[in-house]
Amino acid sequence: YMLRTGNLIRVRLDRQQGDKSWITVLEQDPGMEGAFLAMAPDTGRVLCMVGGRDFEKSQFNRTTQAIRQPGSSFKPIIYAAALDRGYTQASILVDSPVSFDDNSLKGAWKPSNYDRRFWGSITLRKALVNSRNVVTVKLLNSIGVDYAINYARHLGITAPLTPTLSLALGASGVTLMELVTAYSPFVNQGERVEPYLIEKIVDRHGNLVEEHRVHRVSVISPQTAYIMNHLLQGVVESGTGTRAKEIGRPAGGKTGTTNEMKDAWFIGFTPTVLAGVWVGYDDHTLSLGKGETGGRAACPIWVYFMKEYLKDQPILTFPIPPGIVFAKMNPNSGYIASFDDPSAVFAAFSGSPPAKRVSYTVSREADSDAEDSSSSTEKTESFFKSDLF
């Protein structure tokens, strides 16, 4: 809308800090909403909760009441379930076109990736770090939808979950509080804790009336929890959540974006704080706009909070449970990397890493759907090869 001479404009009176003079500010109600929840992952104590942009205009608590599609921020639940089905960070999955019969659509469902490309054979680690949709759907199909739903229940998801493969992409709505709770085992050695707001109640004489008791439930093994933690650190280090690196300390997390940019999520954690952000419109039909992904629209809010909350606290690392070993892995092949492999990453395994070392020739033809299809390559490398993934 273009302002014209003679228009009546409402402005807000404001003062700059330290300035006694008033200034007028032209502002517009943005319309979009948001929700935020931060808690201590070891106890569930709520550190901060924001249910919306303006309580005077809306008392609806979007942290506890709004049921929204979580998009890819639901994927860690699927990957954790897969780890407990025998998959590892080095497991090879195939990112390629696929279709599934879907009675609700009266035809076949063909999931696609955000970039509309397919990467071919990739490791489970690379699939999650880069939030590959098609691979995640195939993974859910492999482990079973019913198993995944039951797994989500153990982690703390209570909302109705539609038993279809689109669950892998966060098609079933959840609340922000549920999703943050479901991440708590990844930061808490496999134990789930419930968020709470009231520490204790005393009467006017100082007598204790009621006090909250922390209730921890072991829902996954410490080893599975740590491997998921390590994978989600990879998302922050080199994946869709790299904006979170701005806090300057160890962190993990996952972005989420729904179709047409209607919802943007980021659930992330440090060793002492677990926090989640949702941004969107109350009207489910409205989009946040082109490019407004979880990494762009939600993650900066998380970063701002973490910087302020943690600025005077020591930098800590995540504890490693017994039974976890690390190996230098090639993120593309899943093999233990050669000593001079520039793309190698440290991957966490439960028990032991792949053990066989082999020399082999990789011949890869250019794929028109690949990220880089400019040329074909052929090279010989030496790796440790796994027995079976």
Domain boundaries, the chain: 33-310, 324-385
Which pLDDT value is given to residue 387?
27
Handedness of CA 305, 307, 310, 315 (dihedral sign): positive
- pLDDT, residue 105, reads 62
Q: Which of 160, 243, 262 is nearest to 254 (CA)?
A: 243
The predicted pLDDT at position 350 comes to 93
Q: How far is residue 7 CA from its own chain's centroid? A: 46
* CA 245 – CA 95 distance, rounded (Å): 27
Helix, strand, or coil (residue 154): helix
**Which superfamily does CATH assign the domain made up of 33-310 to?**
DD-peptidase/beta-lactamase superfamily (3.40.710.10)
pTM score over 0.75: yes
Residue 288: count of CB within 10 angstroms of its CB: 21
Q: How many CB atoms lie within 10 A of CB 364?
A: 13
Length of the chain in terms of residues written: 389
Question: What is the chain's pLDDT, residue by residue, as a tens digit (389 residues)?
Answer: 567 888 888 777 777 666 677 777 777 677 899 999 999 999 999 999 999 998 988 999 999 999 999 999 999 999 999 999 999 999 999 999 999 987 666 678 999 999 999 999 999 999 999 999 999 999 999 999 999 999 999 999 999 999 999 999 999 999 999 999 999 999 999 999 999 999 999 999 999 999 999 999 999 999 999 999 999 999 999 999 999 999 999 999 999 999 999 999 999 999 999 999 999 999 999 999 999 999 999 999 999 999 999 999 999 999 999 999 999 988 888 888 888 888 888 899 998 776 543 333 333 333 322 222 223 333 323 322 222 22
Backbone angles phi, psi at 184, to 5 degrees: -60, -35
Q: Are strands 23-25 and 12-14 parallel, antiparallel or unpaired?
A: antiparallel
Q: Given this model, what pLDDT does residue 352 score?
A: 77
**R_g of the chain computed on alpha carbons:** 23
Output DSSP code: residue 63.
T
Give the strands of the sheet with 33-39, arranged side by side.
Answer: 46-50, 33-39, 274-280, 263-269, 252-257
Residue pair 23/16 in contact by the 8 Å Cβ criterion: yes
Rounded distance between C-alpha atoms, residue 301 and residue 307, angstroms: 10
The count of C-alpha atoms lying within 13 angstroms of the C-alpha of 64, restricted to the half-sphere facing its C-beta, is 13
Sign of the torsion angle spanned by Cα atoms 215, 218, 219, 225: positive
Sign of CA dihedral 343, 349, 352, 355: negative
User: What is the reported pLDDT for 336?
Assistant: 87
Distance, in Å, from the CA atom of 80 to the CA atom of 183, rounded to the nearest integer, reads 10
Q: Give residue 122's pLDDT.
A: 93
Q: How far apart are CA 253 and CA 241, in angstroms?
A: 7
At residue 24, the 3 state secondary structure works out as: strand
Would you say 289 and 263 are in contact if contact means Cβ atoms under 8 Å apart?
no
